[in-house]
Structure 1
Amino acid sequence: MAGRQGGVKDEEEKPDGFDPKSTDAYILRDPQAFAMNVAKALENLGKAASEWIAPRERGEVPHNSASPMSDLFQTLSDVAEYWMAEPKRSVEAQTHLLSSYFDIWQKSMAQYSSEAEKTAEQPDTGRKDKRFADADWQENPFFDFLQKVYFATAGWADRMVTEADGLDEKTRQKARFYMRQVTEAISPANFAFTNPQVFRETVATSGANLVKGMAQLAEDMAAGNGNIKLRQTDYSSFVIGQNIAVTPGKVIARSDLCEIIQYAPSTEKVLKRPLLIIPPWINRFYILDLNARKSFVKWCVDQGHSVFMISWINPDTRHADTSWENYTREGIDFALDAIEQATGEANVNAIGYCIGGTLLASTLALHAQEKNRRIRSATLLAAQTDFTHAGELKVFIDAQQLDALDRHMKAVGYLDGAVMASVFNMLRASDLIWPYVVDNYLRGAQPPPFDLLYWNSDSTRVAAANHSFYLRNCYLENNLSEGRMKVAGKVLNLKDIQIPVYDLAAREDHIAPAKSVFTGASCFGGPVEFVLSASGHIAGVVNPPDMEKYQYWTGASPEGDFEEWQKAATDHKGSWWPHWQKWIKGIDKRKVAARIPGDGALTPLCDAPGTYVLE
């Protein structure tokens, strides 16, 4: 009892405000071990630098004149020029920033001098940001001050862009995007001794975490052949064809551009019309066949579809001149020929995902002029046909940047997948770049296995001629939706497409923004079922019904204002997959005996997932 009373007395005598004992975890206990580990970490950092330099000295990494860095500097220089043009304006901007720092300093001093004031003054800004979830970002005065200064600086930088007069909307959009990249990069959460979690782990391990982290950086630099192949998952946990992309099937046809996979049936009867899936050629097709539970392919097979998949080749210098028309003829048309030979069916349902959907739409417009009616319904998944509202990817696309990109691709024949991956990662840097930099290279941690991120890292190259055509005709000039795109000598018009279209957008999609997909959905000449799913570009599409996640919205024809459409739309819980299946069966529900790969006129070449996906 006396001991308990003593404890209460000690607690009562404890002074309000900052507790010095909270710094114990940040005091180095073994300076000698720490010094040795710092030396080892620097040695590993030197190895990483060597891995960066070596392929450049060997000429294996050509100079990329299309790097976004030059555009970043030019764009932010335009912003700086406005503020520096008038001394008074520049002084006011700097004074505003400095006064905010002084205000933070005053409040921080008051905050830790009284517990009452601490409660009253403590902001929750950092707690809303997962980068600053560690308790010491608020409870330790040093880290609390850092994160407040950081948010003040980031907010000031954003205002510098927003309030800079004389910028056209395109430049302002680019400046806002690039400024966000800069402010996210300089976050104190990204550095060893300004991140409380990393700081504590560095002290606790005497810097062993940095040794391991720098070793992993060297490994990732080597794996990327001079560019960081940022590890987002445990790659050793996945083997294509063994525990990923495992739906049974056969490769029944192969061209120089793609393989055609026919999946084995799981039902005695199947829908009369086969189903052709056209995936994007940026990344691999197996996003739709990750594993048995997540596989859209397997689910379609189980619903009674005869499923065929295009697996695109990973292009190299041989494919430099491969065009958009080649992808139409040697991809989609080649697949349609193979399906007819394998099943005897001339009419099919087709699905196009992302850029695969853009290709499908242009192919349908071409087919309409050629009186080719083999595709009887089209499903577009997170696919753009109008690029007016194409989002932040347009930051990287203007005439000057495309000219530089064309010069780079002409030199090598393709755009490396690592470049594409870095661009997509930049769109969500706070989720897809910096957390992995901190965990992998500062904490020395290994990311857990995650099939989606394994697929995300399995990037592919893009053929020079095809990629240039796509960026110019879609992002830069919007020719597809405005009736100016030319393919096979014909000017395409999406209004010529009279077949039923199921057009799916994802509400939080940063690659194919929902508003962009909605705008494009009004371009078709036939009936369109527009559906909006929750989540983003991947999870909004790959959403198996038995997981009971997310929701989707249905409504009127996609015309007018997107925001008004959303307000009037009907909310449905769960996956959009069953809704799509009902739509497909509503078009043609006739069934025939199940088709076994190899029973038709084509002899299987190998088992699914084929050979091209392994290149």
Structure 2
Amino acid sequence: MASGKQQSPNPAPPAPDLERLASNTAKLVEEMGKATAAALKPVEEGRPPASSEELSDLVKTLGQVVERWAMDPHRVVLAQASLTKGFMELWTNSMKRMQGEEAQAVAEPDAGDRRFRDPEWSENPIFDFIKQAYLITSRWAEDVVKSADGVDAHTKHKAEFYVRQILSALAPTNFVATNPELLRETVSQNGENLVRGMKMLAEDIEAGKGKLKLRQTTSGNFAVGVNMATTPGKVVFRNDLIELIQYAPTTDTVFKRPLLIVPPWINKFYILDLNPEKSFIRWAVAQGLTVFTISWVNPDERQAKKSFEDYMREGIFAALDAVEKATGEKHVTAIGYCVGGTLLSVALAYMAATGDDRIDSATLFTTQVDFTHAGDLAVFVDEGQIKSLEDRMYAQGYLEGSSMASAFNMLRPNDLIWPYMINVYLKGQEPFPFDLLYWNSDSTRMPAANHSFYLRNCYLENNLAKGKIDIGGVRLDLGKVTIPIYNLAAREDHIAPARSVFKGSKEFGGDVTFVVAGSGHIAGVVNPADKPKYQYWTNGKVEGTLEHWLAHATENPGTWWPHWLSWIEAQAPERVKARKPGGRRLKPLCDAPGEYVKVRA
């Protein structure tokens, strides 16, 4: 939107109470000292902060871009001239606005950019100047990195990612002095907002053991097994890696073929059972499916040497044995979510190679098996970074769950980081209780051996797609997996990009039903049948590019859940009498959701 004549300014905020402001300033300094002490504690204890390694990689990466630009002085001059031209236009137009003349904006936020929604960013010439100056500089910096010649693709990808992080952090919306809304808030509250925010900052750095544990939600009254993960069932099997939950039937008859869910081990399974209204698990039970789900242990140093193969054998294969004992059925259909889907795909390739036919069909939720187009998470994966991560993991036996949470947040910093920094630490507002963000903060650790194998063989070397992974002496080939597969991608997924999931669909040797859900990695999957928020797209075979597939796809209203159920029913429609958890051969160990899921990292 163009900047027009200067509009009537907002009413001036009341003058601050100088005595209260002085008192709050003293309190702010005190809380700032506590935050600083919490941040320095790891150094005092001889534990170097992990961020130092990340900063080193950032400097090294951007240094390579600067070095390439320095080799061509003529292009440097042109780039500087381009930036100068933008600022000259901005200065000229700002002067016109100051004099009450019409002036077209030089730069405006993108349509989806919510940072500059406050009216003063457009109505006040000073803040409008600050906003446009930031946008001009940001777009110039991004163009400089994109147009750097002679930089390898991975380094350029990292540089673009790091520049986005820096630009997001330096936005004028993140500072009291340059954010009109924060200025009004601070003056009207005499700085009490900053005192509250600094107090919460100190608490969150302390909770993160020297590293900020970003406060995105409050726990509210959330409790796993009380008002989250409440679908009735029993834990019918347990070993060092998993608890297997079988859910109680709610129909008189059920499909003969059971369903086994393999969730990711980097998050807890109850994303599929947040509450009765959003629960995929509860809905699946209500459709007449005998549902089992794996609940992974939250590992510590005792599981340090648990490998990817162990997760397959003690996870999926142990669960299959237990399902057969509980139901008498040898053959199942399985679901794998995210990295759980990658593990399931590895298991399917292994089973195909060894003649194990216990899984009749498989569903993959936002799963990558070909990591060619892995998206921004690939920024964190190269030999140097993996080696550094391995050193940290093997020192304690596992990777802290906060590391993965931080990486996921960095994929969308303007949605998942800076709004909370502003609202919590500058406005001093406690965030609202939100079940999805509570689940997101309930992180899990990752065993060193397993996570190292996953990063190297999937993200770094893409060995699963290349047919180069060896498990237990068996070379894996996804082309030998000929069972029917329902492969769900999410159109706005930043973790398992739809383009990546689409390419991976071509690796399997059988019939693949590829479906694209609206929204992202979580909301695209958790889209309840009773209150769907997003649509989904269907088409024929997985051929050509994703863009071509989408261009000729059918857009369907509502959730994909019933479409998936029809796919399940078409393969195995036979029904039997409903089964009690455990059946006759397995004695239930405890009520769902079990004990492993309650262990906090």
- Fold-level match, TM-score > 0.5? yes
Cα distance in 2 between the residues matched to 1:296 and 1:304: 13
- The corresponding residue for 2:126 is 142
Q: Which residue of 2 aligns with 1:239?
A: 223
Asked which structure has the greater CA Rg, the reply is: 1
**What do the CA deviations read for 1:184-227 (whole angstroms, capped 9, x no partner)?**
11000011121111110000000000000001111111222222
- Secondary structure of the corresponding residue to residue 294 of structure 1: coil
1:92-127 per-residue CA deviation (whole Å, 9 max, x = no partner) reads 43333233223212111102322x515x55865377
For 2:11 and 2:191, locate their aligned partners in 1 and report how far apart those are by CA, in whole Å: 18
Task: Map residues 162-181 of structure 1 onto 2, 5 A cutoff.
Answer: 162-181=146-165
Report deviation, 1:607: 0.8
Aligned to 2:35: 48
Query: Would the aligned equivalents of 1:108 and 1:141 in 2 still touch at CA under 8 Å?
Result: yes
Q: 1:417 maps to which residue?
A: 401
Question: Whole-Å Cα distance in 1 between the matches of residues 212 and 537 of structure 2?
Answer: 40
Rounded to whole Å, the distance in 1 between the matches of 2:30 and 2:134 is 31
Question: Which amino acid in structure 2 is aligned with residue 42 of structure 1?
Answer: V
2:62 equivalent among 73, 76, 101: 76
Work out the CA distance in 2 between the residues paired with 1:433 and 1:600. Answer: 50
C-alpha separation in 1, matches of 2:485 and 2:578: 26
- Out of 93, 99, 111, the position equivalent to 1:113 is 99
CA distance in 2, matches of 1:246, 1:521: 34
Q: Give me the whole-angstrom Cα distance separating, in 2, the residues matched to 1:220 and 1:18.
A: 41
Confirm or deny: 8 A CA contact 2:89 2:106 kept in the other structure: no
CA spacing shift, 1:23–1:93, aligned 2, 3 Å:
farther
Counterpart mapping for 1:59-458 below 5 A: 61=47, 63-64=49-50, 67-114=53-100, 117-118=102-103, 120-121=104-105, 124-125=108-109, 128-458=112-442
1:263 CA drift (Å): 0.7
* Distance in 2, Cα, partners of 1:30 & 1:126: 38
From the superposition, tell whether residues 181 and 144 of structure 1 become closer, same or farther in structure 2 (CA, over 3 Å). Answer: same
SS at match of 2:234: strand
Gaps of 5+ in 1: 1-15
**In 2: Cα distance, 1:137 partner to 1:18 partner:** 12
> Match of 2:542?
558
User: Does the 8 Å CA contact 1:515/1:562 hold for their aligned counterparts?
Assistant: yes
- By how many angstroms is 1:64 displaced? 3.3
CA shift for structure 1 position 237: 2.8
Alpha-carbon distance in 1 for matches of 2:170, 2:106: 23
Deviations 1:65-95 (A, max 9, x none): 8843222111111111123334444344333
SS of the aligned residue for 2:540 comes to: coil
Give the C-alpha shift of residue 37 in structure 1. 0.9
Distance in 1 (alpha carbons) for counterparts of 2:534 and 2:475: 40
The change in CA–CA distance for 1:90 and 1:39 in structure 2 (over 3 A counts) is farther
Work out the CA distance in 1 between the residues paired with 2:121 and 2:188.
Answer: 19
Does structure 1 residue 567 correspond to structure 2 residue 551?
Answer: yes
Question: Which residue is 1:10 aligned to?
Answer: none
Q: Are the aligned partners of 2:243 and 2:294 in contact in 1 as well (CA < 8 Å)?
A: yes
User: Is 1:31 paired with 2:18?
Assistant: yes
Report the Cα distance in structure 2 between the residues aligned to 1:514 and 1:123, rounded to whole angstroms: 31
Which deviates the most, 557-566 or 180-189?
557-566
Distance 2:199 2:140 in 1: 37
Q: Which runs of 5+ in 2 are unaligned?
A: none
Is the CA contact (8 Å cut-off) linking 1:126 and 1:133 kept in structure 2?
Answer: no
Structure 2: how far apart are the matches of 1:184 and 1:335? Answer: 44
- SS of 2:564's partner is helix
Q: Check the 8 A contact 1:30/1:206 in 2, yes or no.
A: yes
Separation in 1 of the partners of 2:593 and 2:76?
60
Partner of 1:600: 584
Question: 2:474 & 2:110 partners in 1: Cα distance?
Answer: 55
Assess, with a 3 A threshold, how the Cα gap between structure 1 residues 86 and 371 changes in structure 2: closer, same or farther: closer
The one-letter amino acid of 1:107's match is N
**Corresponding residue for residue 540 of structure 1:** 524
Deviations 1:545-569 (A, max 9, x none): 2113211111111122221111111
Alpha-carbon contact 2:107-2:135 (below 8 Å) kept: no
| Preserved contact between residue 100 and residue 152 of structure 1 (Cα < 8 Å) | yes
The answer to whether the Cα contact below 8 Å between 1:384 and 1:516 also exists between their aligned partners in 2 is yes
**What is the CA distance between 1:365 and its match in structure 2?**
0.7
Bigger shift: 328-337 or 74-83? 74-83
The equivalent position to 1:522 in structure 2, one of 503, 506, 514, is 506
Structure 1 SS opposite 2:57: helix
Contact 1:65 1:408 in 2 (8 A): no
Kindly indicate whether the alpha-carbon contact (under 8 Å) linking 1:28 and 1:206 is maintained by their aligned counterparts in 2: no
Letter in 2 for 1:117: E
The one-letter code of the counterpart of 2:29 is L
SS of the residue corresponding to residue 81 of structure 2 reads helix
Q: CA deviation at 1:371?
A: 1.2
Is the 2:6–2:123 Cα contact (8 Å) retained in structure 1?
Answer: no
Query: Is contact 2:204–2:213 with CA below 8 Å preserved after alignment?
Result: yes
Per the TM alignment, residue 52 of structure 1 is displaced from its structure 2 partner at its CA by: 2.1
CA root-mean-square deviation: 1.7
The percentage of counterpart residues that share the same residue type is 54
After superposition, the Cα gap between the structure-2 partners of 1:121 and 1:518, relative to the gap in structure 1 and judged at 3 Å, is closer
Determine helix, strand or coil for the equivalent of 1:411: helix
**C-alpha deviation, 1:448, in angstroms:** 0.9
1:407: how far off?
1.4
Letter aligned with residue 301 of structure 1: V
Change (3 A) 1:72 1:298: same
User: Deviation per CA, 1:313-359, whole angstroms, max 9, x where unpaired?
Assistant: 11111111110000000000111111111111111110000000000
Q: Which AA in structure 1 matches 2:90?
A: I
Counterpart CA distance in 1 for 2:508 and 2:499 is 16
User: Is the CA contact 1:66–1:408 (under 8 Å) kept in the aligned structure 2?
Assistant: no
Deviation at 1:62, TM superposition (A): 5.5
SS in 2 for 1:131: coil
Q: Distance in 2 between matches of 1:134 and 1:379?
A: 44
Q: Indicate if the aligned counterparts of 1:545 and 1:577 stay in contact, CA closer than 8 A.
A: yes
Partners of 1:111 and 1:121 within 8 A in 2: no
Q: 1:494 to 1:122 in 2, by over 3 A?
A: closer
CA–CA separation in structure 1 for the residues paired with 2:563 and 2:445: 35
- TM-score by length of structure 2 reads 0.96
Deviation at 1:447, TM superposition (A): 1.0
